[in-house]
Structure 1
Amino acid sequence: MKNSKDNFLIERLKSIKFSLKGIWLLITTESSIKIQVVIALLAIIAGFYFKISAVEWLIQIMVIGLVLVAESLNTGIEKLSDFVHPDYHKKIGFIKDVSAGAAGIAAIISLIIAGIIYFPKIASLF
């Protein structure tokens, strides 16, 4: 008889495997994610260069996560929409636009936060 705890652990490990596969697929196939990852790396480098505080690091990491999650969900919704209805359809177009809008909101929020964190630091250089 199998132990239910073993099944739980195996299922969690499978979930992690699927998650890592999804991250890999996003990073290797989606240009929007590639761009966001590069921007995130630049923000991390800037954080080290400007020696941002622990709170600023937390906020920056949360915003990076927000953008990557929004872009990932947008990609998933777009792929699903294209699979379900490959031809143009007004309602599918609306769904895809709203999904892209969510990613856009995350990007705008990240730019505002980056401005709040880095503008004073950059201005102090001059």
Structure 2
Amino acid sequence: MPKESFFKNRIKSVGYALKGMFLLLRTESSIQIQFVIALVVTAFGFYFEISQTEWTIQLLAIGLVMGVEGINTAVEKICDYIQPNLDPKIGLIKDISAGAVMIVSIIASIVGLIIYVPKIF
């Protein structure tokens, strides 16, 4: 069987990634909530006319939170597949993964406060 070209392989990879992104948005409530928050914060960005640097930092924060949440979801799905029953070790893995989301969410919230509190007050 001949090897696929690099270009065809990349197109397939992008297709799989888009499928995964839309699957996350359709099925995971935590991503849906974060997506709504991202839309609200983006609207604030336009309303308050934030700078190019602020846009960059805001978009990085949004991407980081949603990306880590996606990884957390994948870790949880793998854990559930490997061990569908309650297991303290699996619970620890899930807690650590959720903790990573909490860390980036707190930092992203602080970034939002740094950008918007001076503009609001």
Per the shorter chain, which TM-score range?
A: over 0.9
Aligned counterpart, 1:43:
41
The one-letter amino acid paired with 1:25 is L
Any residues of structure 2 matched to 1:16-55 within 5 Å, and which?
A: 16-55=14-53
Aligned counterpart, 2:63:
65
Query: CA–CA distance in 2 between the matches of 1:88 and 1:35?
Result: 27
Deviation, 1:105, is 0.5
Query: CA–CA distance in 2 between the matches of 1:105 and 1:65?
Result: 14
Q: Give every structure 1 segment of 4 or more consecutive aligned residues whose post-TM-superposition deviation is greater than 4 Å.
A: none
TM-score (norm 1): 0.93
RMSD: 1.0
The one-letter amino acid paired with 1:20 is L
Query: CA–CA distance in 2 between the matches of 1:24 and 1:53?
Result: 30
Structure showing greater radius of gyration is 1
Deviation, 1:72, is 0.3
The one-letter amino acid paired with 2:79 is S
Query: CA–CA distance in 2 between the matches of 1:106 and 1:29?
Result: 22
Deviation, 1:30, is 0.3
Identity %: 51
Query: CA–CA distance in 2 between the matches of 1:87 and 1:119?
Result: 45
| Counterpart among 65, 71, 76 of residue 78 in structure 1 | 76
Query: CA–CA distance in 1 between the matches of 2:44 and 2:108?
Result: 14
Structure 2: state its 5+ residue gaps: none
Say which SS state the counterpart of residue 106 (structure 1) adopts.
helix
Deviation, 1:48, is 0.2
* Per-residue CA distance 1:39-97 (angstroms, 9 max, x = gap): 00001000000000000000000000000001000000001100100011111000000
| Counterpart among 83, 87, 92 of residue 89 in structure 1 | 87
Query: CA–CA distance in 1 between the matches of 2:57 and 2:22?
Result: 25
Say which SS state the counterpart of residue 82 (structure 1) adopts.
helix
Aligned counterpart, 1:109:
107
